[in-house]
Amino acid sequence: MMEFPAKNYDLAATLASGQAFRWRLIGHAWEGVIGKHWVRLRQEQDRIIAQTAGPAGNWDWLPHYLQLSIDLNQIFATFPPDEPMRRSMQSCAGLRLLRQEPWECLASFICSSTKQITQIQQIVALLCRRFGRPAAVPDGHEPVYSFPGFRTLAEVTERDLRECKLGFRAPYLLNSAKKLRDGEINLSALPRLSLEEARARLMQLPGVGLKIADCVLLFGFGFQQAFPVDVWVMRALRDLYFAKRPVKLPRLREFSQTHFGPHSGYAQQYLFHYMRTKGRKRGSLNIDTGQK
């Protein structure tokens, strides 16, 4: 058990905002797996209480994953002072970008194309149950598994992956895992590259286009100006900045690169969350809480 100060942090919005797919709300606590650690998180005012079942080591992995030391106000100060951003920030103040393990993030988003978030959660759960390693859990808790590494997945068959509901994405994930295993792409080299170079590397992987590459760059590597544009963000830009005119995707991408400043990826996540939750009652988000 460990406590971390967490001012201006909305744990629920952060874990349920479609960045990561392994979190479930059980009662008032969020349960998930970070690396090899099963962990239960609970927020109480300005702190987050964390519990593991096995040895937690020095705990450094948790504040890093949750990005606890980020000063949100400094980031907000760089956002354009317009009405859409104001409304988005108001809808989920305290939403953070996580810092996920790059391969897990990449593999999860390869599974994400034309899938709803609940289905991505199911696919990821199946992959972990079938190919991951068991993590230490409390007595009597159902078993939980780590996310399988690319060396493990490179050895499975397309059929194995289709049984995990990957559908046409199965060969994408399999062949991406093989390319990493064979050293054709080295994820650990990406942080030293520019955004454009790192993006180009990722897009050499099958099933990874501009959108998925930007998700990985933002959620797995922390490139602050990666700006993934999916259908929700496209709607946000069209509705909020272009008066619902039928603006084409390349024009929206160009706008996103110039309008939102040095932390545009953060702005993107606020717009995404705002579009997906507005009009819904608070607490009725069976869309992405992971609740069964």
Partner DNA sequence: GGCCAGGCGCGTA
Partner DNA sequence: TACGCGCATGGC
Binding site for DNA (CB under 7 A): 17-19, 109, 112-120, 122, 162, 165, 167-168, 172, 203, 205-213, 215, 228-233, 248, 250, 268-269, 272, 276, 286-287
We find the least distance from the C-beta atom of residue 59 to DNA, in angstroms, to be 26
CA nearest neighbour of 96 among 123, 74, 116, 114 = 74
Reduce the DSSP state of residue 263 to 3 states and report it.
coil
We find the least distance from the C-beta atom of residue 5 to DNA, in angstroms, to be 25
SS (H, E, C) 85-107: HHHHHHHCCCCCCCCCCHHHHHH
Half-sphere exposure for 236 (CA within 13 Å, toward CB): 27
Q: Which is nearer to DNA, 146 or 264 (CB)?
A: 264
Q: Which is nearer to DNA, 113 or 152 (CB)?
A: 113
We find the least distance from the C-beta atom of residue 41 to DNA, in angstroms, to be 19
211 noted as active-site residue: yes
Q: Which is nearer to DNA, 18 or 32 (CB)?
A: 18
| Separation of alpha carbons 76 and 83, rounded Å | 13
Q: Which is nearer to DNA, 145 or 219 (CB)?
A: 219
| Separation of alpha carbons 191 and 197, rounded Å | 10
CA nearest neighbour of 173 among 150, 191, 203, 204 = 150
Active-site choice (165, 179, 211, 278): 211
We find the least distance from the C-beta atom of residue 55 to DNA, in angstroms, to be 32
* Residues forming the active site: 211
